[in-house]
Amino acid sequence: MEKETKKSLKWLWITIALVAVAGVAVWCILSAVYNPKAGKDGAANIFNTQTTTFVMFTIAFVVIGLGYLLGAIDIKGVSLGTAGVFLVAILVGFLCTLIPEDAGIFSGFHLTESSAVVKNLKSTVQNIGLILFVGSVGFIAGPNFFKNLAKNFKTYILMGIVIILLGTLVAVLCVLLTDYGPAYWSGVLSGALTSTPGFSAAIDAVGNNEAVKSLITLGHAIAYPFGVVGVVLFVQLMPKFVKADMAKERDYLRIGAAEEARDYSKYFKCEEFGFLPFALAVIAGLVLGSITIPLTGKGYDGATFSLGTTGGVLIMCLVFGHFGHLGKLSLEVNEKTLKVMRELGLALFLLGAGVDGGVSLVAQVKANGGAIVAWGFIGGAVMTVVPMIGGYYLGKYLLKLPLLNNLGSITGGMTSTPALGTLIATAETDDVASAYASTYPIALILIVLASQLLITLM
């Protein structure tokens, strides 16, 4: 009876959402057409829809609302969850490229790669979301992270190495078996592993060659959607395939990771939510992530490495979460605050990545044709699936990792932020974040190196 009630309520909300969207659309159209004061170009006088702010926030809330509705659809216990935002964002990005530039009140929704809306979503909204998500994960995992890392340090390094190595080997095979070249497959590799740093490293490695940069961008745009959705589905399906007892798996995950209760009452807190320590950790992380290290004898003119926004913020939030205080200053962040910021951050990240991906994909397909897209999608899917399967069997049979540790390490090795959010929901515990955070740094370094290595095959 309870399930039927929940199902009825879900469809009620879906109906309300669709009616609301349809009502707003009809109201806009009728207001534009029948306003006697409007004149020939009355639509632009009634609604100031040409502003970047209006367009960006309209797209954002439509995508997030519909994305969560899509993510709530449950098929035999498997759902997209927050990743539904990503798929809706790609679709909206694609549809907005089809709107004519002279579409009256809707002309502001015509998007291209150079549109201010797309740039803002990609550079600002996406990065803010990433900072909120990885920062929250860092604070949540911090108390148990270093204990878990000390216990499984070699294991997580090996997992990261094997996952990236398998993906790179598939990319090399694609270079050898096709005529599309290393630059294209380097982009596919970074997309299949959802690695923005890997994509940036490949772009930097080709210098000012715009034609080659276009190929890298095309490969990344084609492989990225499956790279996100594939890992999200994998971490939900594997427990079902192996018929795992999730209660026992959560117990295995917590063995040896129990943390003594901390008495924060003796430390100074300036506010109850914990925004101050969160802000301090993020600032420290951005500084750490901006440090650039040369990897060759060419110094900063050659290949370089940096932790970037993701790596730097993640590490510093882990450190802050681990110590819990700085002198007499409490570094505690309210648990409810962290969970809200984690979910909001993931939604904003997927919003920016999805809209930009949809717009970029259309532009790149128009420029390069369909066959290269088909091969890139197939190759990218293989680059996503093979490392996950290889990593899973390595973790299970050779390294003897419990299931949730194994899946957490795989999400880190695949550098998949969305999949970690899904795994936390599937496992019903935040403890899986520790395995992700332990594997992520080594995988991040290796994917940067692998992307640049492929370029050297040119």
DSSP 8-state class, residue 75:
B
Rounded Cα distance between 365 and 404, Å, is 38
Average pLDDT over residues 95-119: 76
Of the two residues 306 and 35, the one the predictor is more confident about is 306
Average pLDDT over residues 179-203: 84
pLDDT at 30 over 50: yes
pLDDT given for residue 4 in this prediction = 59
Q: If you write DSSP's letter for every residue of 347-412 in order, what string do you get? A: HHHHHHHHHHHHHHHHHHHHHH-SHHHHHHHHHHHHHHHHHHHHHHHIIIIIS---HHHHHHHHHH
pLDDT given for residue 168 in this prediction = 94
Range of weakest confidence among 48-52, 154-158, 299-303, 338-342: 48-52
pLDDT digits (tens, 9 = 90+) for 432-443: 888 888 888 888
DSSP 8-state class, residue 122:
I
Range of weakest confidence among 99-113, 314-328, 368-382: 99-113
Q: Measure the N-to-C terminal CA separation of the chain; round to a whole number of Å.
A: 62
Average pLDDT over residues 31-35: 48
pLDDT given for residue 143 in this prediction = 79
Rounded Cα distance between 159 and 399, Å, is 9
Average pLDDT over residues 80-89: 82
pLDDT at 396 over 80: yes
Q: What is the mean pLDDT of the chain?
A: 80
Rounded Cα distance between 129 and 20, Å, is 27
Rounded Cα distance between 280 and 257, Å, is 26
Query: Are the C-beta atoms of 192 and 223 separated by less than 8 Å?
Result: yes
pLDDT at 392 over 90: yes
Of the two residues 317 and 9, the one the predictor is more confident about is 317
Confidence of residue 246 (pLDDT cuts 50, 70, 90): confident
Report in angstroms the alpha-carbon separations of 207 from 200, 202, 236, 307, 409. 11, 9, 40, 21, 34
pLDDT given for residue 331 in this prediction = 84
Range of weakest confidence among 93-107, 154-168, 368-382: 93-107
pLDDT at 18 over 70: no
pLDDT digits (tens, 9 = 90+) for 122-142: 778 888 888 898 888 888 878
pLDDT given for residue 25 in this prediction = 61
Q: ∠ CA 41-47-49 to the nearest 5 degrees?
A: 100
Which residues, in sequence order, are CB contacts of 220 under 8 Å at separation 6+?
187, 188, 190, 191, 199
pLDDT at 231 over 70: yes
Rounded Cα distance between 392 and 400, Å, is 10
Average pLDDT over residues 351-355: 84
Rounded Cα distance between 83 and 89, Å, is 10
* Strand 325-326 to 293-294 pairing: unpaired
pLDDT at 261 over 80: no
pLDDT given for residue 283 in this prediction = 92
Of the two residues 20 and 342, the one the predictor is more confident about is 342
Rounded Cα distance between 135 and 312, Å, is 10
pLDDT given for residue 383 in this prediction = 95
Of the two residues 388 and 202, the one the predictor is more confident about is 388
Confidence of residue 144 (pLDDT cuts 50, 70, 90): confident
- What's the pTM? 0.75
Most confident residue range from 30-34, 205-209, 342-346: 342-346
pLDDT given for residue 425 in this prediction = 85
Residue 180 C-alpha from the chain's centroid? 27
Of the two residues 362 and 284, the one the predictor is more confident about is 284
Contacts 24+ apart (CB under 8 A), 295-298: 295/449
Of the two residues 302 and 439, the one the predictor is more confident about is 439
B/e letters for 385-399, b = 16+ CB within 10 Å, e = fewer, are: bbbbebbbebbeeeb
Which residues, in sequence order, are CB contacts of 319 under 8 Å at separation 6+?
142, 281
pLDDT given for residue 220 in this prediction = 85
| Strand partners of residue 294 | 304
Residue 446 C-alpha from the chain's centroid? 18
Delimit the domains of the chain by residue range. 129-256+264-455
Tell the residue number behind the tokens 């427990």, with chain if given. Answer: 239
Q: What share of the chain in percent tops pLDDT 90? A: 14
Helix (H) or strand (E) holding 294: strand 293-294
